[in-house]
């Protein structure tokens, strides 16, 4: 498993790595694309295809729900790993 010390910026990583790590770190919270983009220093356009793809895997799910961070109802993704 990859390790990122808390507080360290992971912005040097490729975008898929950042999105993946962000979601796993926030297991099992549901988070919208907007907030993932903000926290990973990317854009919604860049991460939408990534979260959609992750949502198809058994480790993640993507549904309509309430974002844990901004409390808006939107398309949210969450990690199901290490629950
Ligand atoms: Zn949000």
Confidence band of 81 (pLDDT split at 50, 70, 90): confident
Strands 73-79 and 60-66: antiparallel
**What tens digit of pLDDT does each residue of 1-28 get?**
555 555 455 567 999 999 999 999 999 9
Q: What is the pLDDT of residue 6?
A: 52
- Rounded to 5 degrees, φ, ψ at 25 are -65, -25
Give yes or no for residue 73 having a pLDDT over 80. Answer: yes
- pLDDT given at position 8: 52
Residue 61 Cα to ligand 1 middle (Å): 16
How many Å lie between the centroid of ligand 1 and the Cα of residue 67?
Answer: 5
pLDDT for the residue numbered 12: 79
For residue 38, the CA-to-ligand 1 centroid distance in Å is 9
CA of 16 to the centre of ligand 1 (A): 19
User: DSSP E strands: which ranges in 25-72?
Assistant: 31-32, 60-66
CA of 63 to the centre of ligand 1 (A): 13
Go through the domains of the chain in sequence order and give each one's CATH number.
15-79 (1.10.10)
32-45 pLDDT per residue, tens: 999 999 999 999 99
């Amino acid at each position: 498993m990859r390790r990122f010390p808390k507080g360290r910026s992971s912005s040097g990583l490729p975008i898929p790595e950042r999105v993946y790590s962000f979601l796993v770190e926030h297991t099992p919270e549901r988070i919208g694309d907007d907030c993932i983009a903000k926290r990973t220093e990317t854009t919604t356009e860049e991460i939408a295809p990534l979260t959609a793809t992750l949502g198809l895997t058994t480790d993640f799910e993507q549904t309509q729900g309430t974002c844990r961070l901004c409390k808006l109802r939107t398309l949210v993704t969450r990690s199901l790993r290490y629950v």
